[in-house]
Structure formats: C-alpha cells, structure tokens
Amino acid sequence: MPTATQKLSATQLAQSNPYHVTAGQIWEDADPRMNGRQLQVHAISGAYAECYQVIKGTTLLAPGEHTRQNNGKPRRIRLDRFKPTSTGYRLLNR
C-alpha cells in the first residue's frame, strides 16, 4: 500500500473502486455534451463497470423505473471515472 505522499496509478485507483460503484446503480453522465445520458451498472469486472444506457418514462414501467435501450451496447467504464465532476458521473439511484 502506498504511503500518503505516493500517488496511486490509474489502474490501482480504479481497482480500489473509490466511488463504491455496484451493480444496479443508475449514473448520469455529467458531460454537458452527453445531454444527461443515464447508465445502469450491470456488472463490475476488475477495474471496469459494464453499463448499459437507459431511458426513463416508458408506459410499461412504474414512475422512477428505467428500461434498457433496445439497441444499446454495453459500455466499459473505468471505476475511477465515476466521480462527481464535469468529466465524470453523478449517482442518481442506489
């Protein structure tokens, strides 16, 4: 384990899951170019989260529930990117 003065590498930081990302959570992309894209975490694999883009507001679901987009492909996102900054993600739902 590094001392307080040593910095963790990107891989070490991602593997430590600093933002406590777990399967089932809904995260919103904070990048304004992504227009509020929302992702649901389906699995954690090493230093990555496998996510699918989700949409809100279909008539088949109760209010507040989400559905996976039909043509969505899984996104692999490094765990250290799930930070609440303009280039990260915001947690919407546990």
pLDDT tens, residue order, the chain (94 aa) = 555 445 666 656 556 888 999 988 889 999 988 888 888 888 899 899 998 888 764 333 445 556 655 556 788 999 999 998 988 999 987 6
Residue 80 lies in a domain: yes
Quick one: pLDDT at residue 18?
87
Distance, in Å, from the CA atom of 77 to the CA atom of 80, rounded to the nearest integer, reads 9
Residue 2 lies in a domain: no
Residue 5 lies in a domain: no
Distance, in Å, from the CA atom of 70 to the CA atom of 91, rounded to the nearest integer, reads 23
Residue 32 lies in a domain: yes
Show the domain range for 65: 11-93
13-28 burial, b if ≥16 CB within 10 A, otherwise e?
ebbeeebebeeebbbe
Residue 83 lies in a domain: yes
Residue 25 lies in a domain: yes
Q: Which residue has the tokens 């996976």?
A: 68
Residue 22 lies in a domain: yes
Beta bridge partners of 28: 38, 90
For residue 37, the SS3 value is coil
Model confidence pTM above 0.85: no
Domain count for the chain: 1
Residue 20 lies in a domain: yes
Q: Which residue has the tokens 């990117």?
A: 81
